[in-house]
Amino acid sequence: MRKGIVEKVDLNEVDQQIEGAGNGPAAEQMRKLEPELFEYVNQRLIHAAGKLAVNGAPTRLVQQVTNDNLATMLVAVGAMWRAQHRLWKDVFKDTPLGHLADLLDAPEKDTATEPHQDDPEPSDEDDGKIS
């Protein structure tokens, strides 16, 4: 059997992380890094859940199967990211690819609450209406 770049340790570590924290953080991370892939998987999961529900599967079972399928996909993608990082981190040390682990763990800035530098400061006379 040919060996790929993903190792059992990658799968086990990502699986433990997702099992410990739930699907939410990993799904959000994937949504940020790979929005098209995330949207595709999400739509396919919704489609599959709909098929189960229409054919009479109990709601709880539909939710469990959907969560299990999402976790499986998140583990697979997370393990691939981990393996790619291990493979390339020394080649691209001072690039975003070389710091992929840092990028994955970095908190996202909340730009909605930070004023733009070009935006004027609101004055007391400003009533919030657009003129």
Write out the chain's pLDDT in tens, 131 residues.
788 999 999 999 999 999 999 999 999 999 999 999 999 999 999 999 999 999 999 999 999 999 999 999 999 999 999 998 888 777 777 776 666 656 555 555 544 444 444 444 444 444 433 43
Q: What phi-psi label fits residue 11: left (phi over 0), alpha (psi between -120 and 50 degrees) or beta?
A: alpha
Task: Enter the pTM of the model.
Answer: 0.69
**Domain ranges, ordered by start, for the chain:** 8-105
Longest Cα–Cα distance in the chain: 73
Nearest one of 2, 14, 17, 73 to 43, comparing CA atoms: 73
**Residue 80 · residue 6 · CB < 8 Å:** yes
